[in-house]
Amino acid sequence: MNDEIRALGERVGGRLRARGETVAIAESSAGGLISAALLAVPGASAYFRGGGVVYTGDAKQLFLKLSRTTVTKPRAATPEHALVLARGVRERLGATWGLGETGAAGPTGNRYGDAPGHTCVGVAGPVELTETLETGSADRLKNMEQFTLAALRCLETALARTPAA
């Protein structure tokens, strides 16, 4: 994990802990790096409810208990789908915040025509936010790192926009 990801994970984790709030993660093309960034912080058990890499529709249905229709409409790699994941994991794990990520890490795009380096992030909680990132790169690992940063920044922005519970 690079220093930028670690520092952002520490900052977001610290803010969640200070507020007494929790987070649950449903990530796809970030491959577990979002969860790892939050879990690398000592004391993460105070705010991290759980998470999973839901890389396929079957995984989304099984782990998040979402219906087939819910995981296919809206299609993956869209802001709407990222919110479906965020809402689903938030509800499933009883967290204050849910964070969903969906995209195409590379080296090729996805079956929907999105280029490699495309991801969408959704945060669900007291406020809802989405963000779309296009890195323009086919480098899978670098994209996964950029997706992780985008997701953590989106959560950090959501936290900044709401008073503590």
pLDDT digits (tens, 9 = 90+) for 5-37: 999 999 999 999 999 999 999 999 999 999 999
87-127: pLDDT as tens digits:
999 999 999 999 999 999 999 999 999 999 999 999 999 99
Q: Distances from the Cα of 72 to the Cαs of 36, 106, 116, in angstroms? A: 27, 21, 20
Q: Which of 51, 48, 50, 53 is nearest to 31 (CA)?
A: 53
The pLDDT, as a whole number, for residue 164 is: 78
Is 101 in contact with 28 (CB distance < 8 Å)?
yes
pLDDT bracket for residue 71 (50, 70, 90): confident
138-149: pLDDT as tens digits:
999 999 999 999
pLDDT bracket for residue 163 (50, 70, 90): confident
How many Cα atoms occupy the beta-carbon half-sphere of 151 within 13 Å? 41
Cα dihedral 76, 130, 138, 55, rounded to 10, equals -40
Q: What is the mean pLDDT of the chain?
A: 96
The pLDDT, as a whole number, for residue 92 is: 97
- Tell me the CATH number of domain 3-14+23-160, given options 3.30.499.10, 1.10.3720.10, 3.40.50.300, 3.90.950.20: 3.90.950.20
| Assigned token pair, 118 | 């495309």
Q: How far apart are CA 2 and CA 83, in angstroms?
A: 27
